[in-house]
Amino acid sequence: MGNKYEEEYGKVQLPPRRSEAGGLREGMLIIRADEDCVGAAGDRENGFAPHPAQAFAEIYLQPVVRSVLTAEQFMRWSKRELRLEEANLWSLVLELLLDAEQGSKYNPDAIGIADVQPHRRWYVSHLSHIQELLQRHTLLRRMNIVVRWLEQTYREGNTLLKLSASRSHEEAVLLRQIILSHLRGGELYRAIDLAVTAGDCTYSCLLNAAQMQTVYEPWFHLTPLVPLFGEYGNGEVDQVWAGNTHRLDNLSQLYEDSVALSNSDEGRSAIGGLDAIVAAVLCGNLEVMEPAFLAAGNWKDALWCHLRAALVLCFTKTLMNAHHTVQPLYAGFIEKFTGSHDSWQEETARDVVQRLSERIQKNYLPFASLEEQLQMRVILQFLSPGGVDWMCITDDLYTKRIDGARIISHLLLCLDTAYKETLHSYSVQVYSNTLAIALAQYGQQLAQMPLYPHRMRCKRSLL
């Protein structure tokens, strides 16, 4: 017995796989360019790339269509066509689907923390505690994946300034700005190299103390490791001891410094204000981070500071539960953010996602480009609980761009394939009729392609 939606609208019936008797054939999806167009199918032997219509359609002609491979191919083609934000969209989908595919392979019990006596757990490395936290809690792990993606896209889209050898006030401000930019891009090691090169002893020591060191442990081969962001993911690996004894004390001091600077006259100066923001980023003080990043008006900066602050505090709370101590002021701030209940991990993550969804929907979603709107919707869809529909896309998005139906159709088809592979719990076809509408408009555009002028048809990338 179908549900109400299926009874009223019916599901989208895609053609069956290719077979001798019939089914999905090349001629049904591929619209070939004329022979004299660069990139036509007949030019493949001469070294030319296939026409975009053929390239995108061939994904669905494979004997087995997999969402991960589909997202990877679309990401590569978008980069080749220099569509930066579209490539970023597919790289986001790819990272989230890869994590979902890896999820069944994670084995937090293999780390062995539960077998260690509680009063001895302080000796277990910080990495072990953080890996167990993320492998047990899917929502926190997805937040971590999104932070890594936000750092990656920031690195690819920004050219950093160079620092001269001058010791002027302007160069001191620029040093802090570049360090903050490196932290935003998840490259603490570059910030450390810059501080050392500039001869700034304070920042050199401060940044080195914030980096989490890692020790090689025997459980590494028993479960895959969750890739971490920023200073948590690029610490040095030691064969004997990780050396994080005073790291939480340093974070405690950074929290107190960020609060003190933000409330003082020194914090109102350019140097003092940047010092407060750098300290807040490292310790997860969102109250100081947020005003600075929101001023830029960029949704990716706002999302990054919220997710990063939440994860830093969750990591620190996990280490506190393992008998690692922090200073009272910092401990109180962490408890205020995470709460003291037993299921604090999931409840903290849900609260963060709820606040972000309200802010994104109100302040950023209506004003972003099509690709960035889809990026926000994909993030919120993967972070939201089952039954919440962020992919119910309004008709105005299809008319924003001539290729809007193309992007939306391919994205929804990829997510629908991922649902069938049980890589996420959201069914595009069950929760909304967006896929049917997108495919109908997409098909209408494809049917009109032969009517376009000869040369224009070679340049359009409707598929």
Banded model confidence at residue 176, pLDDT cuts 50, 70, 90:
very high
Which pLDDT tens digit goes with each residue over 252-297?
999 999 999 999 998 889 999 999 999 999 999 999 999 988 877 7
Q: What residues does each domain of the chain span? A: 56-104+343-447, 109-296+306-340
> How many angstroms separate the CA atoms of 453 and 177, rounded?
51
Give 23 or 116, the one with higher predicted confidence. 116
Neighbouring-strand partners of residue 237: 214
- At residue 117, the pLDDT reads 84
Q: Hey, what's the torsion of the CAs at 196, 197, 201, 203, to 10 degrees? A: -70
Please state the pTM of the whole predicted model. 0.83
Q: Residue range 117-138: average pLDDT?
A: 88
- At residue 385, the pLDDT reads 82
Neighbouring-strand partners of residue 95: none
pLDDT, mean over the chain:
81
Instruction: Give residue for tokens 């989208």.
Output: 12
First to last CA, the chain: 36
- At residue 287, the pLDDT reads 94
- At residue 21, the pLDDT reads 41
Name the residue type at position 13.
Q
> How many angstroms separate the CA atoms of 385 and 383, rounded?
7
Neighbouring-strand partners of residue 238: 215
